């Protein structure tokens, strides 16, 4: 049975809008891949100014952008100070990014408080990071609730992680729907997990296509897993030209 990918995310990356959430470590106890050990943060991209950001005070936005630039240049102390200013002015993504930096320093309680503020303000990365933190504490019901909020906001990794938890609870249909959303949003773990689900129910063409998407989207280790799974599937099916053979349509 192929392994699935799950996600629990906490990682500081200055060029993301949710800033510290992405540590994707395959779960050893399941066949799923999760985005679950790294946190996601917002990154610096002036072209990506959403409606939520436009509603926030100009001073908050400027402080947040200053924090992103400082973080990009490795000045984490300065970045934290800038994020704190923006957070005090109600900036959602700043709270999420501040939480990532605090968590990296081992200040778990302060980080959680930041994620909660970001979550309450409608920041998808904040909701996702909160979900990852809660899942790591085995507060699975609360983690699912946080992932659902992030999923509703269009967060790919949150949809993938939610799918893993749903599948572990015995709801494969809801899990597959989550994986599809994650796949559509460009999350490699979601694509990989969707491929596993499709393969398990016999949609080999759909599975192969999803493995191929995971291979293109994922980090090297995920890409390698996806390529190996696709090769195994092709070999088992004894149809090297499976992609053109007209299999199931669900994964296309």
Q: Write out pLDDT tens, residues 33-75.
A: 666 545 666 654 444 445 555 556 789 999 999 999 999 999 9
Give the CATH number, domain containing residue 150. 1.25.40.10
> DSSP readout, 102-136?
HHHTT-HHHHHHHHHHHHHTT-HHHHHHHHHHHHH
Domain contains 26: yes
Domain contains 252: no
Are the C-beta atoms of 53 and 44 separated by less than 8 Å? no
Q: Evaluate if pTM is beyond 0.75.
A: yes
Q: Write out pLDDT tens, residues 183-239.
A: 999 999 999 999 999 999 999 999 999 999 999 987 888 888 888 888 888 888 765
Q: How confident is the model at residue 2 (pLDDT cuts 50, 70, 90)?
A: low
Q: Does 158 score more than 90 pLDDT?
A: yes
Cα separation, 200 vs 66, in Å, equals: 48
Domain contains 14: yes
Q: Give the helix ranges, DSSP H, for the chain.
A: 51-55, 58-72, 76-88, 92-104, 108-120, 124-136, 140-152, 156-168, 172-184, 188-200, 204-217, 220-237
Domain contains 56: yes
Residue 218 vs residue 111, higher pLDDT: 111
Domain contains 250: no
Domain contains 248: no
Least confident of 80-84, 158-162, 211-215, 234-238: 234-238
Tokens linked to 60 = 């908050």
Angle at CA of residue 91, ends 90 and 93, nearest 5°: 145
Range of the domain at 231: 5-243
Cα separation, 75 vs 159, in Å, equals: 32
Domain contains 164: yes
Cα separation, 99 vs 129, in Å, equals: 9
Total domains in the chain come to: 1
Cα separation, 218 vs 204, in Å, equals: 20
Angle between the N-to-C axes of helices 156-168 and 188-200, in degrees from 0 to 180, rounded to the nearest 10: 40
Of 222, 232, 226, 231, the closest CA to residue 210 belongs to: 226
């Amino acid at each position: 049975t192929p392994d699935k990918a799950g996600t629990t995310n906490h990682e500081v990356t200055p060029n993301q809008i949710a800033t510290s959430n992405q540590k994707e470590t395959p779960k050893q106890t399941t066949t799923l891949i999760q985005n679950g050990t790294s946190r996601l943060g917002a990154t610096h991209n002036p072209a990506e100014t959403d409606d939520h950001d436009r509603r926030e005070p100009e001073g908050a936005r400027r402080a947040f952008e200053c924090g992103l630039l400082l973080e990009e240049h490795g000045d984490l102390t300065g970045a934290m100070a800038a994020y704190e200013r923006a957070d005090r002015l109600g900036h959602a993504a700043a709270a999420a990014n501040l939480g990532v930096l605090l968590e990296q320093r081992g200040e778990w309680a302060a980080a959680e408080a930041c994620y909660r503020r970001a979550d309450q303000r409608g920041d998808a990365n904040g909701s996702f990071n909160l979900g990852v933190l809660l899942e790591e504490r085995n507060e699975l019901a609360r983690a699912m609730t946080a992932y659902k909020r992030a999923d509703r906001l269009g967060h790919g990794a949150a949809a993938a992680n939610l799918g893993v938890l749903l599948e572990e609870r015995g709801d494969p249909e809801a899990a597959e729907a989550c994986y599809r959303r994650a796949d559509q949003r460009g999350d490699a773990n979601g694509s990989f997990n969707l491929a596993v689900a499709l393969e398990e129910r016999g949609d080999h063409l759909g599975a192969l296509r999803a493995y191929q998407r995971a291979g293109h989207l994922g980090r090297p280790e995920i890409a390698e897993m996806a390529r190996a799974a696709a090769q195994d599937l092709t070999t088992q099916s004894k149809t090297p030209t499976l992609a053109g053979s007209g299999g199931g349509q669900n994964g296309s």
